[in-house]
Structure 1
Amino acid sequence: MSYRSPCAACEFHGRRCHENCIFAPYFPSTDPERFESINRIYGARTVGTMLQQTPVHFREDAVETMLFEARARIEDPIYGSVGIISRMQHEIVVARYKMAVMQLQIA
């Protein structure tokens, strides 16, 4: 088994990065914050398990989704991404209201 320079996950845990490391394609050592955010919310073991259970062609999307949710959860520990969605829905309602008022003024 050959080794490579450690990915961000292996570097974070102070271990060697094997050529078949499940984390390496998604967590480059040049962007350690990417792994640290996901690890903080989900834990490396859970992320590894999720990646193993996800078909290879969906793994990048899975990592991006976990990263989005992890960053949202760090920013807002109570609501996470649901808080973002709620705020956006509120902004849509406000914009529709303003648009209706402007259409009435024009008419």
Structure 2
Amino acid sequence: MGFQVLAGGTRALQPCAACRMLRRKCDSDCLLAPYFPGDDVEKFAGVHRVFGASNVAKMIKIVEETKREDAVKAMVYEATARLRDPVYGSVGSIFHLQKMVQEIKLQLESVRAQVSDSQKQRDQLLGILMNLRHLDLVSPINDPLLLDRDSFTLDDETMAYDPVNFPVECDWIS
């Protein structure tokens, strides 16, 4: 419960949202005050509109005190969902989320199939390349797996010397 400081330093009790909306005095033992503070009237208004104030109080009373906060959150969520979708309420949201999960599962299966196909193609190409190398149909100069572009350059299928990467070092040149 919130308190208001009045002139003269005395403190007065601020009514909770339920008592404020129902226009009744908010006692210090108000059951709804801990869950519906006075500055959040919309939260109680939705719950009151869907369930009714007396039913909300009854539901809070039958729940264990340690679980009341969660029960009130559930009521607020359900009331908000009912006001948004009067026919399905929160069940409509659940169905929508389940549909999205199914669509994402289908997309995941599709991507996995594409990855598998790509891996099979890669393996086939590597197999063909290995067979060509085994038959000596691919020379080391033209073999893309053996080609080290940093050590030499190819001009018209001939190997050229690269003085930057391989400077001349010999002991017979002075």
- Stretches of 4+ aligned residues off by more than 3 angstroms: none
Higher helix share: 1
CA distance in 1, matches of 2:22, 2:74: 23
Structure-1 residue corresponding to 2:78: 69
Q: How many residues align?
A: 105
Structure-1 residue corresponding to 2:38: 29
CA distance in 1, matches of 2:93, 2:82: 10
CA distance in 2, matches of 1:66, 1:29: 18
**How far has the Cα of 1:54 moved from its partner?**
1.1
- Determine if contact 1:4/1:16 at 8 Å carries over to the other structure: no
**How far has the Cα of 1:4 moved from its partner?**
2.1
- Three-state SS of the structure 1 residue aligned to 2:56 is helix
TM-score (norm 2): 0.59
CA distance in 2, matches of 1:50, 1:103: 48
Alignment partner for residue 40 of structure 1, among 39, 49, 58? 49
TM-score (norm 1): 0.95
Query: Which sections of structure 1, spanning at least 5 residues, go unmatched?
Result: none
Larger Rg: 2
CA distance in 2, matches of 1:91, 1:98: 11
Give the number of the structure with larger relative contact order, counting CA–CA contacts within 8 Å between residues 6 or more apart: 1
Per-residue deviation, residues 24-73 of structure 1 (Å, max 9, x unmatched): 00000111111001001000000001111111111000000001100000
CA RMSD of aligned residues (A): 0.9
